A and B are shown apart, each in its own frame.
Chain A
Amino acid sequence: MNRAAIIDAGLFAALVAVALVAQAAGEPFVITLATKAAIFALAGVGLNLVLGYGGLVSFGHAAFFGIGGYVAGILASHAMSGAPVATFPFTMQGTNEMLAIWPMAMAVAGLVALAIGALSLRTSGVYFIMVTLAFAQMLYYFAISWPAYGGEDGLSFYVRNTFPGLNTFDPIQFFAIVAVLLGLALGLSALIVRSRFGLALRAARAAPGRAVAVGIRPFGIRLTAFVISGMITGLAGALYADLNRFVSPAMLSWHMSGEIMVFVILGGVGRLAGPLAGAGAYILLEHLLGGVSEYWQALLGLLLLVIVLFAPGGIVGMLNGGRGR
């Protein structure tokens, strides 16, 4: 294994270790924090695919995070009430089976990513940033003004969704589910980045003119990456809804998009475990700085400024011997 792979594995092991130690010490709250970090990391893994490897600065990933959350919330609330989710073109019942909810959340997030991506990828640079941000904001306002699922107040569901053979209410078991999914997503993105597709995606970022000259159309490559990215972030959203048993428009807000981006950049753009390092550090900071002052986000902002201005490789960059991007 090379150094980068060791760091990636080490970070993942550290996350699992934190949860296991907390379990042994009887600290369920810490397990929940680790679960939250893993979910945020998963959302970041999705974004990292387009941001880190594709060079596409999407400031709208809250859209997919929130959609994943709402799919989980809506299906679960219908399972609770017994009313079908839809009666046309076919009758669809609610469900609280995670194994049914996840594919649904990913499919819907992927479809929305397809639509948003197809429009946004007609632009580039700052336009792309502004357009993705704007489309996410559109969904945010839609969630607020659509009364059926709680509107501004959000949607609560009182039972955590179920997974065969596990008690999802037990923090460590729920953590295990999330950690396995995170591990799978990390593995999948490691494969994708090294594959033919990854080669094309990275080339389209670093030398788009060259990609075209060898016969590769960047649009299709980027759109595909955007859809995969949206699906992964959508899955994270579904898990986050389950963690809180609550979804609200806040999951769709621009602030959420900014946070997902912070996870990726804090950890190190275009580094496999960057989002994990970033999300872990974010949760840790929230916890530590939150104890110092209720205005901890100001401190977070200052820290971010220092990182952007002076340590552009992020945490993983520093672990990797201070080599920049």
Chain B
Amino acid sequence: MSALLVAEQVLNGLQYGMMLFLMAAGLTLVFGVMGLINLAHGALYMTGAFACAAVAAATGSFWLGLAASLAAAASAGALVELAVIRRLYARDHLDQVLATFALILVFSETTRWLFGSFPLYLSLPEALSGAVDLPGGLVYPAFRLAIIGIGFAVAVFLFWLIGRTRLGIRIRAGEADREMIAALGVDIGRLYTLVFALGAALAGLAGALVGTIQSVQVGMGEPVLILAFVVIVIGGIGSIRGALVGALVVGMTDTLGKAFLPQLFALAMEPSAARAVGSALASMLIYILMAAVLIVRPQGLFGARA
């Protein structure tokens, strides 16, 4: 395997990790602030992807589609928070799991009814449809580089938002002590809706971006959701930094494992068996990583509580 191939896969891993970060950041914020486990986060991801596909098809502009994905996911998130989620904060995790599972069914079937079961495809925006020459002779798709850039930008934005703004202070205070900040006159209901909508918007953005390089279809959200859970377990619940580190670790491990494990096994085994063992093991790699973290540090790398 050449250095070029490795570099390309590292970039792929980075891009994948950034996508996972967009998903995991919203989940971990919602859990950290409201103590809620939201299975329907994947449905918001799907909502973003479909909004992008529909608006891009209608207007011919990918950028309008991307804006629509943010708007649609954020408003779907706010709506769901107001209608359902806020009744669940005081409930136990079981009720939260069941209610948000029910939301997945509603979202998925409604989307299937609106758009059908066949995948939709998005075309790349003109400006980003080409490839970029990177130093060392590596040619890499511009759109994927843009995804990496967007991921970094969101990470910086979130660190700024949580660490430096009034809203961030309230979010952190809300994590520490709900009653206290309510007593200080902060409208806790509005804060929660806002945080939930923010998480939803990030998920919608991720859905639109991934939908563009893969396809847009019903059920696309849940596999990503479960990976985002793995990210959070590894990174630690409620920590944006944990989400970022966890997402990059998971993205890299999964991408590099799938790219190179079968080749690695081929050194010692006959090719077809190596492919089977290598790809089966590669598909399990991040979960093995998660198991290792659970053994060494059950509360996650950056988590305070288990």
Q: Which A residues fall within an 8 A CB radius of B?
A: 51, 57, 59, 119-120, 122-127, 129-131, 133-135, 137-138, 141-142, 144-148, 254-255, 258, 261-262, 265, 269, 295-298, 300-305, 308-309, 312
Q: How far is the CB of A138 from chain B (nearest CB, A)?
A: 4
Contact B283 A144 (CB under 8 A): yes
Contact A308 B31 (CB under 8 A): no
Among candidates A127, A129, A142, A298, residue contacting B106 with C-beta atoms closer than 8 Å: A298
Contact B99 A308 (CB under 8 A): yes
Contacts A127-B237, A304-B102, A309-B84; is A148 near B276 (CB within 8 Å)? yes
Q: Measured between alpha carbons, how far is A80 from B109 in the docked complex, in Å?
A: 39
A-B contact pairs, 9 of them (CB 8 A): A125-B93, A126-B237, A127-B233, A129-B93, A130-B230, A134-B287, A297-B105, A304-B102, A305-B103
Is there a chain A Cβ closer than 8 Å to B239's Cβ?
A: no
Q: Measured between alpha carbons, how far is A98 from B206 in the docked complex, in Å?
A: 47
Among candidates A130, A269, A309, residue contacting B233 with C-beta atoms closer than 8 Å: A130
Contact A302 B94 (CB under 8 A): no
Q: Measured between alpha carbons, how far is A83 from B279 in the docked complex, in Å?
A: 25
Among candidates A129, A137, A148, A301, residue contacting B287 with C-beta atoms closer than 8 Å: A137
Contacts A141-B284, A148-B276, A262-B98; is A130 near B113 (CB within 8 Å)? no
Of all chain B residues, the one with the shortest Cβ separation from A134 is B230
Contact B105 A304 (CB under 8 A): yes
Q: How far is the CB of A301 from chain B (nearest CB, A)?
A: 3
**Stretch of B56-64, B122-130, B289-297 on the interface side:** B289-297
Cβ of A303: which chain B residues have Cβ within 8 Å of it?
102
Among candidates A262, A298, A302, residue contacting B101 with C-beta atoms closer than 8 Å: A262
Q: How far is the CB of A100 from chain B (nearest CB, A)?
A: 27
Contact A301 B103 (CB under 8 A): yes
Given contacts A142-B284, A301-B104, 11 further A-B contacts (CB under 8 A): A57-B93, A123-B294, A135-B291, A145-B276, A254-B222, A265-B94, A298-B110, A300-B105, A301-B105, A304-B98, A304-B99
Q: Measured between alpha carbons, how far is A98 from B291 in the docked complex, in Å?
A: 34
Of all chain A residues, the one with the shortest Cβ separation from B291 is A119
Q: How far is the CB of B66 from chain A (nearest CB, A)?
A: 27
Q: Measured between alpha carbons, how far is A146 from B226 in the docked complex, in Å?
A: 20
Q: Measured between alpha carbons, how far is A197 from B298 in the docked complex, in Å?
A: 26
Is there a chain A Cβ closer than 8 Å to B229's Cβ?
A: yes
Contact B298 A123 (CB under 8 A): yes
Contact A308 B98 (CB under 8 A): yes
Contact A123 B291 (CB under 8 A): no
Contact B37 A295 (CB under 8 A): no
Q: Measured between alpha carbons, how far is A131 from B280 in the docked complex, in Å?
A: 20
Contact B104 A129 (CB under 8 A): no
Q: Measured between alpha carbons, how far is A309 from B91 in the docked complex, in Å?
A: 9
Is there a chain A Cβ closer than 8 Å to B203's Cβ?
A: no
Contact A137 B103 (CB under 8 A): no
Among candidates B91, B284, B306, residue contacting A127 with C-beta atoms closer than 8 Å: B306
Contact B110 A295 (CB under 8 A): yes
Contact B99 A129 (CB under 8 A): no
